[in-house]
A and B are shown apart, each in its own frame.
Chain A
Amino acid sequence: MVQIFLKEINGFLDSLIGYAVVGVFLIVMGLLMWVFPETSVLDYGFADMETLFSLGPFVFIFLVPAITMRSFAEERKMGTLEWLLTKPITEGNIVMGKFLASTCLLIVALVPTLTYYYTLYQLGNPAGNIDTSGVIGSYLGLVLLGAVFCALGILASTLVANQIVSFMLAALLCFVFYSGFDSASLLFSDGNLSMGIKQMGLRYHFESMSRGLIDSRDLIYFFGLGSVLLLSAKTVLSSRSW
């Protein structure tokens, strides 16, 4: 697992993918947070990071599939996946190595945004007038959300051999899991049913964490969903049905 993880990280750094992901994320978030008047914190006048946490997931929906699309699709096309599977390493370890590397890259992209927190902390009136626990919960939520997106992307990459199809499939899956359930719940007037559907989506749990309350149910949801997705990816690899 460690070998695969290191190889993937090296791959990100060698091929510009890593820099592109971090760069694009920071540029987009920077513009949204500080420049574009509609979403800018400076125009809004309140010291909160809502912009990052409400728009970040949508940036992830495009960024994560770009990170994960090649993970298995490219290896399969090049034949290296077959090669890897004749080596003494289990399918589970390959999946985990690649998953952790993608998630790690995403976390690296998030780290510089901590400066936003510092800036807003100083800008508050009085200084420090910011919902710190909400920010911590949101960051944790964003990391978990990104990890689940990565798992979705990895699964999509194991399912199809074409990188572009893999990208689109992953983006679609991320979108459906993030806001699809949310939107679908609006179709039903029955309150319980509507709520049930809403709770199946990622957004419900992400927003619940953003309030600064770390609820075990949300953690179980993120970890459970992530595990199911990674296990599915492993099963696809083991079946060799491609």
Chain B
Amino acid sequence: MSIHVTRLTKEYGKQRAVNDASFTVREGEIVGFLGPNGAGKSTTMKIITGYLPPTKGSVTVNGKDVVADPMFVKRCTGYLGEHNPLYLDMYVHEYLGFVASIYGIPAARKKQRVDEMIGLCGLSVEQNKKIGMLSKGYRQRIGLAQALIHDPQVLVLDEPTSGLDPNQLVEIRKLIKAVSVNKTVLFSSHILQEIEALCDRVIVINQGIIVADDRLENLMRKGGRHLIVEFADDISEDMLLAADGVQGVTRLAPGKFRISAGLDQDIRPALVRFSAQHNLSLVELKQEENSLESVFSMLTRATDNAE
């Protein structure tokens, strides 16, 4: 079961929400779909799940086109939407039973399946309540339970952790990790730690355009290596640039600089030598953790500027 998105374009009137996007999620892979708000993540996911028709291009799930064979795709896909819409006046059991019957799970197996989902998603304590009475964290669990009830091979999760408190966040993440074994998962978020924790591969989308599609390590490397260095006295940027291995310098404050360097080389010893040579007192030398944040902002800024 894999998802192929080929040259997908979606226009709302004159506005282009997704612009010529192509990517693939292979069988068994967990792929993070990353982008700022309004980048086209949800639109892409709505097209994959057969809710919206594409303007141009095609999406296939396990080789079947979503437009030509929507029922097949809907049957083998579990979808948790952006706002996780639920019937608030239904009871947990009633709701999950309803979802099971929509997926055509026979009545004999329905109850057992609902109970399994309640166990799996940690809903046992709240199982006899109305959905409207539950907290956001539990509602999110129900959202996951309904997406999983027919044991789909493909999972499409649109910001499953948005609006949760830190504890719930960790629990839901754990749950997603647990249930996504042997499934093809496309998972959107704008929380970067989450993507780091869960995904093998990341697709970054900005303004409807795919700006990166790579393994996490490779993506992290793209940002290069950065250091913060501070001397007691101010010096000129050119002096620093002359030092061995320094590729770029930005002045942050008098005497304080941000230095970019090649990835393969640790230039800290060179910088210490440099300060000794020039009789400078080095007060700070720090290697910046190259976070997904910086890569992300680099990637998304690049397209913003191009616009």
Contacts and interface: CB of A to CB of B under 8 A. Distances in A.
Interface of A: 2-3, 6-7, 10-11, 14-15, 78-80, 82-90, 240
Contacts of B46: 82, 86
A87 B100 CA distance: 11
Nearest to A78: B85
Contact of A86 (B49, B53, B87, B89): B49
Given A3-B98, A7-B98, A10-B94, A86 B81 contact: yes
Given A3-B98, A10-B94, A240-B53, A87 B103 contact: yes
A163 to B, nearest CB: 14
Given A79-B81, A88-B71, A11 B89 contact: yes
* Chain A binding surface SS class: helix
B81 A87 contact: no
B129 interface: no
A78 B86 CA distance: 8
Contacts, number: 55
11 contacts: A3-B98, A14-B90, A78-B88, A79-B81, A80-B86, A82-B46, A82-B51, A86-B49, A87-B74, A87-B103, A88-B75
Contacts of A88: 71, 74-75, 102-104
A2 B99 CA distance: 12
A1 to B, nearest CB: 11
B51 A86 contact: yes
Residue from B51, B75, B94 whose CB has the most chain A CB atoms within 10 Å: B51
Interface string B45-62: 010011111000000000
Nearest to B72: A88
Contacts of B89: 11, 14-15
Contacts of A14: 89-90
B123 to A, nearest CB: 18
B51 A85 contact: yes
A242 to B, nearest CB: 12
Nearest to A240: B52
Contacts of B98: 3, 7
B275 interface: no
Nearest to B87: A80
Given A2-B101, A80-B86, 14 more contacts: A3-B102, A7-B90, A10-B94, A84-B102, A86-B50, A86-B51, A87-B102, A88-B71, A88-B75, A88-B102, A88-B103, A88-B104, A89-B102, A90-B71
B7 interface: no
Contacts of B79: 83, 86
A205 to B, nearest CB: 37
Name the residue among A11, A87, A89 with the largest chain B CB count within 10 angstroms: A87
Contacts of A86: 46, 49-51, 74, 77, 79, 81
